Amino acid sequence: MDSEFDVIVLGMGPGGEVAASRLLDAGRKVAVVERELIGGECGYWACIPSKTLLHPPALLAATRGAAGITGAALDWADASAYRDTMIRHLDDAAQVDGYRERGATVFKGAARITGRAAGRIRVQVGDDELTADHLIIATGTTPVLPQLPGLEDITVWTNRETYTVRELPHRAVVVGGSAVGVETATFLAGFGVETTLIQRGGSLLSREEPRVGELARQHLEAAGVHVLLGASPARARREGDDSILVLESTEKDTDSPDPAAASEVRADVVVFATGRRPRTEELGLDAVGIEPDDHGAIPVDASCRAGEGVWAIGDVNAVMPFTHVAKYQGRIAADSILGTARTAHYDGIPRVVFGIPDIACVGLTHAQARSEGLAVESVELDVAAALARPWTQEREPEGHLGLLADTNRRVLLGAWAVGPEAGEWIHYAALAIRAGIRLEVLRDQVAQFPTFHEAYLAALDLFES
């Protein structure tokens, strides 16, 4: 097998795939290295199975709200069989063949960087030693579990067990109230699992506007999830088939239904959605003079360059842990290698939680804008009260849109939307923020009637000036 390349792509999740494809299309000699499955975490255990499994309960909720549909029901056997198709039955043979046909040399195995020789970077994969002018590191992240006494005695799941599950548990506890925790609780409860969600802080989705967390909680509770805020597991134990978490209260001022009253939760499985750590520990980064930060992430410049001839893209650099960002950075790094210097900009990149309904955010929060010293004004629109579209779909619709504007520059800084398909219509705000479109221009835009996009016009009218 060849051992000398223009570029080695290490890790073939969405970031690595986009970079490798672009380089192959440009005729470069590329080696791709993947220790598990081409497609990465996203394709098999994260984005794809979660969105596939969240859709049926979301659709069921929509049909229950709609007039003229009766008899809709969930079918787990069918949903999970389709999930298996979507995750290719955890088999990437077609992807391996596809990359080979496109001219890549594919190495299956864990790679380790071993150093530099004559200006080239050396990488070891099993018995193979590869060299290249450029190395793109796209190794993603791995879940972090809390140090909990008794953890080894209980049934612990991460996203991997959750999204490849064949037989649903009767009861589940989800620990962690960020996007992954909220989606996981939504999926499990949607398929009838008795679900408790535990969040250490006083609100869900704590990086977003507090109002977003509040709405997320209302929708989860309406879907039957028992939400415990201000509570954290202190230890774990098993009793028969039951996995038990002993909780401690972490917030005095939470308005949660008394965390102390639920000092223990009992379930068949405990799903930890408690954060992720970049996979850098065994990469041999020191061999090329790269030092990860305290969280294990690879520091990069605006072109995703981590060092001479070394690039780091996607979750491993911890800039924004999303597939669309990994893919964007894949394009940035590949183009820079191909000689078109590009820098990444992170304004106006959406952050969507695929709950029921969608919870979509973009840009700055009020607190972030204030900490940057910006003069801001925010508005919130009751979308159902203002528009026709929600009523054409549901008998008792709900939806909310929040906008945050810079009152000096007269542009949008941030937006959030909680409502049907909000993950689609947030892109209007995303583009407005990224392009710095002035409020006057946005106000003059004409949206199709009746659509959710009309919410922006109604919300913009709520700004004072």
Ligand X SMILES: Cc1cc2nc3c(=O)[nH]c(=O)nc-3n(C[C@H](O)[C@H](O)[C@H](O)COP(=O)(O)OP(=O)(O)OC[C@H]3O[C@@H](n4cnc5c(N)ncnc54)[C@H](O)[C@@H]3O)c2cc1C
64-75: burial string, b at 16+ Cβ within 10 Å, e else: ebeeeeeeeeee
Q: Which is nearer to ligand X, 172 or 369 (CB)?
A: 172
297 binds ligand X per the rule CB under 6 A = no
362 binds ligand X per the rule CB under 6 A = no
Q: Which of 5, 7, 9, 13 binds ligand X (CB under 6 A)?
A: 13
Least distance to ligand X, CB of residue 12, Å: 6
Q: Which of 21, 80, 131, 159 binds ligand X (CB under 6 A)?
A: 159
34 binds ligand X per the rule CB under 6 A = yes
23 binds ligand X per the rule CB under 6 A = no
Collapse the DSSP code of 421 into the 3-class scheme (helix H, G, I; strand E, B; otherwise coil) and give the result.
coil
Using CB under 6 A, which residues numbered 264 to 283 contact ligand X? Answer: 279, 283
Least distance to ligand X, CB of residue 47, Å: 4
Residue type at position 134:
H
314 binds ligand X per the rule CB under 6 A = yes
348 binds ligand X per the rule CB under 6 A = no
* DSSP structural state of residue 263: -
The residue range among 13-21, 89-97, 192-200, 341-349 that interacts with ligand X, by the rule CB under 6 A, is 13-21
Residue entry with tokens 């204030």: 370
5 binds ligand X per the rule CB under 6 A = no
CA-CA-CA-CA dihedral for 289, 315, 168, 271, to nearest 10: 70
Measured CA distances, 164 to 39, 48, 53, 87, 139 (Å)? 15, 11, 10, 9, 21
36 binds ligand X per the rule CB under 6 A = yes
The structure tokens listed for 288 are 């090329």
* Close Cβ partners of 269 (under 8 Å, ≥ 6 residues apart): 155, 156, 157, 161, 169, 171, 172, 173, 243
Q: Which is nearer to ligand X, 90 or 431 (CB)?
A: 90
Query: Rounded to an integer, what distance in angstroms lies between the CA atom of residue 143 and that of residue 129?
Result: 29
Q: Which of 24, 106, 111, 460 binds ligand X (CB under 6 A)?
A: 111
Collapse the DSSP code of 346 into the 3-class scheme (helix H, G, I; strand E, B; otherwise coil) and give the result.
coil
Least distance to ligand X, CB of residue 186, Å: 12
421 binds ligand X per the rule CB under 6 A = no
Residue type at position 115:
G
Least distance to ligand X, CB of residue 43, Å: 7
The residue range among 197-205, 250-258, 320-328, 383-391 that interacts with ligand X, by the rule CB under 6 A, is 320-328
Residue entry with tokens 């004559």: 118
Query: Rounded to an integer, what distance in angstroms lies between the CA atom of residue 15 and that of residue 323?
Result: 7
95 binds ligand X per the rule CB under 6 A = no
Longest Cα–Cα distance in the chain: 71
Q: Which of 8, 24, 28, 40 binds ligand X (CB under 6 A)?
A: 40
Least distance to ligand X, CB of residue 330, Å: 8
Q: What are the strands, taking DSSP E only, across 13-53?
A: 30-34
Do the beta carbons of residue 186 and residue 225 sit within 8 Å? yes
Spatial CA neighbour of 272 closest among 359, 349, 185: 185
Q: Which is nearer to ligand X, 179 or 229 (CB)?
A: 179
139 binds ligand X per the rule CB under 6 A = yes
51 binds ligand X per the rule CB under 6 A = yes
406 binds ligand X per the rule CB under 6 A = no
The residue range among 73-81, 217-225, 322-330, 368-376 that interacts with ligand X, by the rule CB under 6 A, is 322-330
* DSSP structural state of residue 298: P
* DSSP structural state of residue 125: E
47 binds ligand X per the rule CB under 6 A = yes
The residue range among 36-44, 229-237, 333-341, 358-366 that interacts with ligand X, by the rule CB under 6 A, is 36-44
* Close Cβ partners of 325 (under 8 Å, ≥ 6 residues apart): 314, 319, 346, 349
Spatial CA neighbour of 380 closest among 408, 354, 415: 415
The residue range among 67-75, 230-238, 314-322, 360-368 that interacts with ligand X, by the rule CB under 6 A, is 314-322
Q: Which of 29, 235, 324, 438 binds ligand X (CB under 6 A)?
A: 324
Least distance to ligand X, CB of residue 54, Å: 9
Backbone angles phi, psi at 53, to 5 degrees: -85, -20
Positions in the binding site for ligand X (CB under 6 A): 10-16, 33-36, 40-42, 46-47, 50-51, 110-111, 138-141, 159, 180, 279, 283, 314-316, 321-324, 326
